[in-house]
């Protein structure tokens, strides 16, 4: 059973799409939300995230996803005139949920949450990264379908609850996405939206999700602002049976 999503003012989009499994509805919902943004914010102006802060997170990472890296680079090159901060090719990721800051999570809790995650009943799945939309502070790929990502978030959140870690936002507020570049200042959104719109005819990139990574995450400002991490534990998902790939979206 898939947990229900809810309207959250701090989430983007505030409301979930009407159908988590319809690629067209998910992608169009992301785009409509982005086109309603009037001003973009400075992504890096985030309270509590100064250089030196470290925290544990669950993330999806893509160290060998050549097609994703190629598509991200293509989009970044096309948007270079916006002078945003690009996500480096080894920094592409999907943030799932926060476990807690390193000074609030003990080694025993970290081992416990990893062990619980290793036993969660979540099967490997395929999703796709669709060019392209954005948020108030970033340009990003839309991900679809959402259902397996929502189930993964819920299972990881439950593992964290049982391990007694601080945790992050509730599953009801989770909005899956994959960032490509971050806005580094406040700016009118219209020129960004206009530029991003030209990339929406690009084909989606399939993503095979067969593991989830427990990482220690930090932010660096040199040579440019970026998130970096080290993988503490890679947890494989249960093998999936042979299933058809998600339908390619027709533009």
Helix (H), strand (E) at residue 236: strand 226-236
Backbone angles phi, psi at 242, to 5 degrees: -65, 120
Average pLDDT, the chain: 94
d(CA 52, CA 124): 34
CB 28 within 8 A of CB 209: no
What is the tens place of the pLDDT at every residue in 202-229? 999 999 999 999 999 999 887 778 899 9
The pLDDT tens digits of the residues spanning 103-144 come to: 999 999 999 999 999 999 999 999 999 999 999 999 999 999
Phi/psi for 32 (5° steps) reads: -60, -40
pTM: 0.93
Residue 51 pLDDT > 80: no
Tokens representing 123 are 């099967």
Q: What is the pLDDT of residue 251?
A: 44
| Across 82-108, average pLDDT | 96
Sign of CA dihedral 51, 56, 60, 63: positive
Q: Out of 43-47, 50-54, 131-135, 140-144, pick the least confident.
A: 50-54
30/129 Cα distance (integer angstroms): 12
pLDDT value at position 247?
46
The token duo for 102 is 């390193």
Task: Please report the pLDDT score of residue 224 as a whole number.
Answer: 79
- Confirm if 225 and 138 have CB atoms less than 8 A apart: no
By three-state DSSP, how is residue 102 classified?
A: coil
pLDDT, residue 240, reads: 82
Sign of CA dihedral 95, 96, 101, 105: negative
Residue with tokens 């593991």: 211
Q: What is the pLDDT of residue 191?
A: 98
- Report the alpha-carbon distance of residue 113 to residue 157 in Å, rounded: 10
Average pLDDT over residues 154-177: 97
Q: Would you say 80 and 48 are in contact if contact means Cβ atoms under 8 Å apart?
A: no
- Is pLDDT of 50 > 80? no
pLDDT digit string (tens) for 8-42? Answer: 999 999 999 999 999 999 999 999 999 999 999 99
Instruction: Tell whether the model's pLDDT for residue 243 goes beyond 60.
Output: no
Task: List, in sequence order, the alpha helices (H) in the chain.
Answer: 23-35, 66-78, 107-118, 147-163, 190-197
- pLDDT: is 41 or 1 the higher one? 41
Write down all domains in the chain, each with its CATH number in brackets. Answer: 23-45+53-236 (3.90.1140.10)
Mean pLDDT of 157-179: 97
Query: Nearest to residue 144, comparing CAs of 245, 20, 60?
Result: 20
Name the token pair of 245.
Answer: 């790939």
């Amino acid at each position: 059973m898939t947990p229900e999503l809810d309207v959250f003012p701090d989430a983007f989009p505030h409301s979930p799409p009407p159908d988590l499994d319809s690629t067209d509805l998910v992608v169009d919902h992301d785009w409509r939300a982005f086109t309603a943004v009037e001003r973009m914010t400075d992504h890096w102006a985030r309270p509590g995230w100064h250089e030196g802060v470290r925290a544990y997170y669950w993330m999806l990472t893509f160290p060998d996803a050549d097609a994703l890296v190629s598509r991200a680079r293509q989009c970044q090159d096309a948007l270079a005139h916006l002078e945003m901060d690009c996500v480096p090719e080894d920094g592409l990721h999907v943030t799932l949920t926060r476990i807690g800051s390193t000074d609030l999570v003990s080694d025993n809790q970290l081992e416990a949450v990893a062990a619980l995650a290793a036993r969660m009943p979540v099967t490997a799945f395929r999703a796709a990264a669709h060019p392209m939309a954005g948020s108030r502070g970033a340009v990003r790929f839309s991900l679809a379908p959402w259902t397996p990502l929502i189930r993964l978030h819920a299972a990881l959140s439950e593992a964290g609850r049982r391990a007694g870690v601080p945790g992050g936002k509730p599953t009801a507020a989770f909005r899956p996405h994959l960032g490509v570049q971050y806005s580094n200042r406040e700016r009118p959104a219209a020129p960004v939206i206009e530029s991003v719109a030209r990339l929406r005819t690009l084909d989606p990139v399939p993503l095979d999700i067969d593991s989830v990574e427990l990482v220690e995450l930090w932010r660096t400002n040199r040579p440019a602002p970026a998130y970096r991490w080290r993988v503490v534990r890679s947890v494989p998902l249960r093998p999936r049976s042979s299933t058809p790939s998600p339908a390619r979206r027709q533009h």
